[in-house]
Amino acid sequence: MILLVLLLKGALWKLTAAQFRSGAKMRKLQPRVAALKERYGDEKMKMQQAMMELYKKEKVNPISGCMPILVTFPVFIGLMRVLSESLELRQASFIGWIRDLSAPDPFFVLPLLYVLIMSATQWLSPAPIGMDPAQQKMMKIMPLLFAVMFAFFPAGTVLYWIVNGGVSLLQQWLITRYEK
């Protein structure tokens, strides 16, 4: 499973790097987008057109950030089905406390590790300027919501997301540190 994640992340490395670069460009454009919102106010069509012109001029694709998740999500769904229905994987141990990859982590270590990785990812990518306070609160609560949700998922699925998130965090750190 870890090898599957590493192979998938290796195959998508350039696509994910483009996602992080696009996100950085989008953050740099936030002051200009905020100015457009002020300028056009309630005229949504004109504002959308001005934003699209800005994105085109600056060569930023706001949808490019979705591509890696569109590829990895079907793998996640397939893995979840395999882990919950495969008889061969029942009682398949991984490390120490995890005696069954198809059952939830009995000590909730894996969901807590995912919270740490998700929090570090959020810390590494600052919130866009002008984000709604309700959205900011939701972003802070998201790691806890995922921890609760992952507490009931098969340990193998949570392990998949930990490795996936950890590799993404490493890639994001490398890109922000060395490609300025």
- 106-141 residue pLDDT tens: 999 999 999 999 999 888 876 655 567 888 888 889
Do the beta carbons of residue 79 and residue 160 sit within 8 Å?
A: yes
- What string of DSSP letters covers 28-66? HHHHHHHHHHHHHTT-HHHHHHHHHHHHHHHT--TTGGG
Least confident among 34-38, 51-55, 61-65, 152-156: 61-65
- Residues 109 and 97: their CA atoms lie apart, in Å, by 9
pLDDT at 88 exceeding the cut of 70: no
Q: Phi/psi at 66 (nearest 5 deg)?
A: -85, -20
The reported pLDDT for the residue numbered 149 is 94
Q: CB neighbours of 82 closer than 8 A, spacing ≥ 6?
A: 89
- CA–CA dist 79, 93 (Å, integer): 16
Q: Which one-letter DSSP state was computed for residue 125?
A: S
For the chain, give the percent of residues with pLDDT over 70.
89
Distance set, CA 112 to CA 95, 119, 158 (Å): 16, 11, 10
Q: How confident is the model at residue 157 (pLDDT cuts 50, 70, 90)?
A: confident
| pLDDT at position 147 | 93
pLDDT digits (tens, 9 = 90+) for 68-84: 778 777 877 887 677 66
> What is the C-alpha to C-alpha distance for residues 141 and 95, in angstroms, rounded to an integer?
29
Instruction: Identify which of 25-29, 64-68, 96-100, 129-133 has the greatest average pLDDT.
Output: 96-100
pLDDT score, position 8:
81
